[in-house]
Amino acid sequence: MTSHDHPATSYSLAVDIGGTFTDISLMDRVSGHVWRAKTPSIAADPSRAFMNGVEAVLADSGVTPGDLAQVLHGTTVATNMMLEAKGARTALVTTRGFRHVLAIGRQDIPRKANLYSWVKPPRPVPTSRIVEVDERVAAGGAVLADLDEASVAAAVATLRDMDVEAVGVCLLHAYANPDHERRVAEILRRELPDLAITCSTDILPVVREYERSLATVLNAQVMPGVSKYVERLETRLSEAKVQSPLLLMQSNGGVAGTEAIRSGPALTALSGPAAGVVGARAIAAECGIKDLITVDIGGTSADICLIKDGDIGLTQKGSIGEWPLPLPMVDMVTIGAGGGSIAALSDGPLTVGPSSAGAVPGPAAYGKGGTRPTVTDAHVALGHLPLKLLNGAMTLDAEAAETAITSHVSKPLGLGLHDAARGILAIANNHMVGAIRLVSVERGHDPRDFTLVPFGGAGPLHGCALAELLGMRRVMVPPAPGLLCADGLLVADLKSEFSQALPEAGPVDQAVGDEIVAALEQRAKAWLDGEAVPQELRERRAVVLLRFRGQGGEIAVPWSASSEATCEAFRVAHRALYGFVLNAPIEMVTLRVEAAGRTPSSDRPALRPAKAGEAQNQVVHFESGSCDTPIIDRATLGANATLEGPVIVTQLDATTVIPPGWSADVHASGAMILTRKDPAE
């Protein structure tokens, strides 16, 4: 069954699995109505939490499994295996003389590392599991030495003795001529049928041997685990009588079918965060907002992304943990700052994060054994959070939060409880502001020209404070900020990229580029045909990666009908990014065609009229002073409702703090638009 070949029903279901909770959204694409649910994640078997969530939302909605047209999923299975080095035992096959490419790596060190004490981390595949074969292809694609199949047979014997589960094949300059690499993979699949095999030309056919080798081995390493996980999901769905196709979120902000994910699981490395960005863009568009900065704050990390003119930028300079992973992915910055980030005194100064209390034991206020103060505990101590969460299903322990802050921060620093709590939040907020400046100011954008969109379970707690630090005047809180990654899956397009690196970087040649783009367009068309995407829902866009001669990195710009227009677009992009242009020739490095099968838009029903409800009050300790503050259930707010800060707005999945000096207007989409008043008003 293809991605667009599904029963004639209107229901799409999305499941996003996080470290603490699994979020589920079910949409009727005809009426636009959405049902949502949260269920605890199960680290030992995420597929169980997946099905628990599916069953919960189907029971709530009355929709039967056979009514589902699509099941969409955001997963961190591949990400966690990469970060925790828990993937399959993997080997690498490469060209003779190049087995140390991974070990050598690059000459740079991590930005925050000490130049004199940094130790290069162990590689995903040690040199002892790298096997060489005899062959040689020139940078231009010419065969300098034929593939010696006897050396491949010897490699097979060696791999058999290594007891590996997966093999990556990355031969020198295979991006220019993949014949040898494909032949090696063919022999390996024939002789070692139980192993997962990844070719570099299938996962990343571009220049730079180190990054290409890393992407190949990381993909191979997670392939068996992801394949088993996907198979388990499909089995559970089938047993539950769900016959609709399963689509998984990719790092590029689009979804793909299970076959594509089985062969390229590394494509899901930023699956969850990418879905949230897509969801934020969709809600912002309903509010007429095209320029936004998203901040996804969870329990452990914060993911920041800038969207200009409604366009989610992609990068091939991303990384997973300590490893560069130059696959197309949503351009975002991730830092260790979240609700579970631990506040500690380290040789004097107060630090917050990146260490996290996680889900277990969690913040002290959760009452699960945590004793160290966290960002969440600071919010509890200041009254930012009501003591009942998740519609009353969870009770916070304010005394435990205050004790943790007093013992570990307040007393050692000689501060009052509330000053210490505000200090914890100030440090956490400034960490996030630094990351926001990385995607805005350092790339030529003034954050004051953008709307801040905080989401995730902790995002709306920090939204107004972050905006004030950045001089931003507007914040948009989505209708379900804590479940936005699941909602984003519902509006994500089917997506894939097809790249071709030039044998040698050279001048921008229109004829050469057009020929490569035409070939990539054919590959994109074949993929769209295979996914049965209707003609009216197809989109294709060609981009080119350019650089000034002598530079080591490229910038992607649209491939235009003339080389002059393409070069001018590059100069404009370079000036915006770096503040200058060079008087040097422009070189063409890689061409890429981005193909998409658009998801038809669904009209969301306008927000229902406000429900009757009484606000409760709680003392909240703002920086400007303590005051009795109303706590309002968001479900009681109708379209065009207005609120004047200070006020705390609660809902199932998040809590929004609206401090003094801010007001809120409820949009018909359900989003809250928060506006900072001019001090003169």
All residues at 6 or more sequence positions from 96 whose CB lies less than 8 Å from its CB, including other chains: 132, 133, 134, 135, 151
- Both 647 and 561 in a single domain? no
3-state helix, strand, coil in the chain (%, to 5): 35, 30, 35
Q: At 425, phi and psi to the nearest 5?
A: -65, -35
User: For the ranges 80-89, 157-166, 197-206, which has the lowest average pLDDT?
Assistant: 80-89
- Both 106 and 202 in a single domain? yes
Give, as one character, the DSSP assignment of residue 406: I
pLDDT at res. 1? 42
Cα angle 187, 503, 171 (rounded to 5 degrees) comes to 25
Q: In this structure, is residue 161 part of a structural domain?
A: yes
Q: In this structure, is residue 255 part of a structural domain?
A: no
If one counts the domains in the chain, the total is 4
Q: Which residue has the tokens 């940094």?
A: 118
Q: At 345, phi and psi to the nearest 5?
A: -95, 115
Give, as one character, the DSSP assignment of residue 179: H
Q: In this structure, is residue 545 part of a structural domain?
A: yes
Confidence of residue 118 (pLDDT cuts 50, 70, 90): confident
- Both 205 and 125 in a single domain? yes
Q: Is the dihedral of CA 75, 76, 77, 82 positive or negative?
A: positive
Q: In this structure, is residue 46 part of a structural domain?
A: yes
pLDDT tens sequence across 268-312: 887 878 899 999 999 999 999 999 999 999 888 889 999 999 988
Rounded to an integer, the average pLDDT of 174-198 is 95
Of 412, 357, 422, 338, nearest to 383 by C-alpha is 422
Query: Is-contact 248 266, C-beta < 8 A?
Result: no
Q: Given the DSSP bridges, would you call strands 196-199 and 246-249 parallel, antiparallel or unpaired? A: unpaired
The alpha carbon of 29 is separated from its chain's Cα centroid by a whole number of angstroms, namely: 25
Q: In this structure, is residue 26 part of a structural domain?
A: yes
Q: Given the DSSP bridges, would you call strands 246-249 and 68-74 parallel, antiparallel or unpaired? A: parallel
pLDDT at res. 629? 94
- Both 93 and 61 in a single domain? no
Which of these three, 546, 562, 596, is where a domain ends? Answer: 596
- Both 98 and 5 in a single domain? no
Q: Is the dihedral of CA 255, 16, 323, 332 positive or negative?
A: positive
pTM: 0.87
Confidence of residue 6 (pLDDT cuts 50, 70, 90): very low
Confidence of residue 7 (pLDDT cuts 50, 70, 90): very low
The DSSP bridge partners found for residue 672 are 477, 666
Neighbours of 441 (CB within 10 A): 12
- Both 538 and 648 in a single domain? no
What CA–CA distance (Å, rounded) separates 290 from 8?
A: 33
Q: Which residue has the tokens 């992973």?
A: 325
pLDDT at 424 over 90: yes
Confidence of residue 681 (pLDDT cuts 50, 70, 90): low
Q: Residue 11 belongs to a domain with what CATH number?
A: 3.30.420.40
Query: Is-contact 45 229, C-beta < 8 A?
Result: no
Query: Is-contact 16 199, C-beta < 8 A?
Result: no
DSSP class per residue in 340-383:
TEEEEESSSSEEEEEEE-TTTT--GGGTSS--S-BHHHHHHHTT
What CA–CA distance (Å, rounded) separates 517 from 523?
A: 10
pLDDT at res. 680? 53
Which of these three, 180, 211, 242, is where a domain ends? Answer: 211
pLDDT tens sequence across 306-343: 999 998 888 877 887 778 888 888 888 888 888 889 99
Q: In this structure, is residue 229 part of a structural domain?
A: no
Asked if residue 507 has a cis previous peptide bond (ω within 30° of 0), the answer is: no
Q: In this structure, is residue 511 part of a structural domain?
A: yes
Q: Is the dihedral of CA 650, 334, 598, 474 positive or negative?
A: positive
Residue 122 or 566, more confident: 566
Which of these three, 166, 184, 211, is where a domain ends? Answer: 211
- Both 95 and 205 in a single domain? yes
Q: What is the CA radius of gyration of the chain?
A: 26
pLDDT at res. 56? 92
Q: Residue 499 belongs to a domain with what CATH number?
A: 3.30.1490
* CA distances to 208, 217, 230, 251 from 265, in Å: 21, 11, 10, 10
Neighbours of 361 (CB within 10 A): 15
User: For the ranges 9-23, 71-85, 104-118, 592-606, which has the lowest average pLDDT?
Assistant: 104-118
Q: In this structure, is residue 498 part of a structural domain?
A: yes
pLDDT at res. 323? 82
DSSP class per residue in 451-488:
EEEEESSSHHHHHHHHHHHHT--EEEE-SSGGGHHHHH
- Both 137 and 176 in a single domain? yes
pLDDT tens sequence across 534-569: 999 999 999 999 999 998 889 999 999 999 999 999
- Residue 541 belongs to domain spanning: 494-596
Instruction: Work out the widest C-alpha separation in the chain, in whole angstroms.
Output: 82
What CA–CA distance (Å, rounded) separates 22 from 262?
A: 22
